[in-house]
Amino acid sequence: MRYSLKRNAKVRNIRWTEGSRRLACIENLPLSREFKSRLITSGVFPQCLHGAEAELINERTWFPLRAKVAKALGFRCTRNPYLAGVATTKRIVDPLFTAILNGLRLCRLIAKHAPQHIDNMMHCFGIELPRYKGTVAILAERLRNLQWSYEGDGIWDFRGARIHIFMSSPRHIQFLLERSWLNYICDKIRHRKYLGNVSSICRMNLRHHSELSSSQKALVDFQSCGEQFTNDAKKYFGDVSPTCPFCQNCDDSRLHRFEECTFFQPVRREFPLLFNNWSSLPMQAKACSLWPEPPMYDQFLCLLHRIPFPHVDRLEDDNLHIAFTDGSCKWQKYPDIRISSFAAIEVLGNGSSAVIHSGLVPGQQSIYRGEILAGTVAVMRFHHVRILRTTRPSSRLPRKSFTATFCNSPSTFLRRRGTYGRCSLWHSLRNHGLK
């Protein structure tokens, strides 16, 4: 990988110059911000971040590229580049974040195609300060910077939510990585006015923008990047007095207009309920339209991730059993808060039934995982079972989703790591469950 630091830096500089040129071209295109963000992630980052997952790059080197990304998205240099890449587009557009994602993908690819290196990679994750910094060690260092901690055996932990680097689904890994990235951004923006005690940022995938007109959206975008349009901000850009243009006797600011300005007193009287709610909003939402995560959200995720994998005793007989399995999900549309559960029920001969196992799904929540877990529980219980389910693609769904949910490469990885309980699960699901 790294053959020479000097030569490496030279090649990287050439790539980054080319990347900056492309970003400058995008800046002038008449496209929406969302489209530009897609163009950057698909057209600029693959070229200029080529190999960035395998080299140590310090913060000062990342910064110019990040600033140019913010500029290409249509923001002036006064806005915060960290916030520009996070709070205004549906995907996070940041070179360092993309490099971390690429590093993760690379590790999973190696695990898939060269499973003999898995043990070595897990060993590299565990070392805090390795002498030789290869792709895995660099990825581990970047994850530690985002406050992830390594629990061993491929499991990383962020504030109680856990992922297995090779076996968790890529989407779930990305979801938790985005949370940790937002947490990292909070540390980076605390120096700004009004954001001194920003606790967390919740993007809600920008769903709260959907009902706004395009000009309102642009206004919110600029504000959430730290741009203020009141005179306290304008005074830096020319001969503008910092006093409020409406009441003329106080320093102007967004909060002044909403809370104190005598000029707007009639409006406050008109909408008393609205302004009662205003006073209870957190400062970051009032001043910058950056909303915090709901209270106790960390604990909620942590609890979901600490639910143990169901344990079922195996019934030692060769009779054919019939089981009905089902999964369910509440608030399926909202990945942040949805909760799924499962149940497996044995159908008995005399028309009655007995519950084999039921409960909440551990870890990532989705109806597919609920369905699969229910089927898995039935397969764990009996040697010979016929599973009835309500969903139609009963044979295709476990095969595809099990692959996607529990492991990227079940056949190679799980067969090698026989200690995993899920190994036998996968085989029995394939041998019995898919009949």
Contacts to Zn ion by CB under 5 A: 244, 246-247, 261
Q: Least Å distance between CB 260 and Zn ion?
A: 7
Residue 258 or 324 with smaller CB distance to Zn ion: 258
Query: Cβ contacts of residue 19 below 8 Å, gap of 6+?
Result: 44, 45, 47, 48, 49, 65, 68
Q: Least Å distance between CB 256 and Zn ion?
A: 6
Q: Least Å distance between CB 257 and Zn ion?
A: 6
Q: Least Å distance between CB 238 and Zn ion?
A: 20
HEC string of 236-259 equals HHCCCCCECCCCCCCECCHHHHHH
Residue 246 or 324 with smaller CB distance to Zn ion: 246
Q: Which of 354, 352, 372 is nearest to 362 (CA)?
A: 372
C-alpha dihedral sign at 105, 106, 111, 114: positive
Tell me which H or E stretch contains 371. Answer: helix 367-381
Residue 79 or 256 with smaller CB distance to Zn ion: 256
Q: How many CA atoms lie within 13 A of 213 on its CB side?
A: 2
Sheet holding 155-158, edge to edge: 149-152, 155-158, 161-164
Q: Least Å distance between CB 205 and Zn ion?
A: 36
Residue 220 or 244 with smaller CB distance to Zn ion: 244
Residue 108 or 257 with smaller CB distance to Zn ion: 257
Provide the residue count of the chain.
435
Q: Least Å distance between CB 251 and Zn ion?
A: 9
Q: Which of 319, 317, 364 is nearest to 339 (CA)?
A: 364
Using CB positions, name the residue nearest to Zn ion.
244
Residue 178 or 259 with smaller CB distance to Zn ion: 259
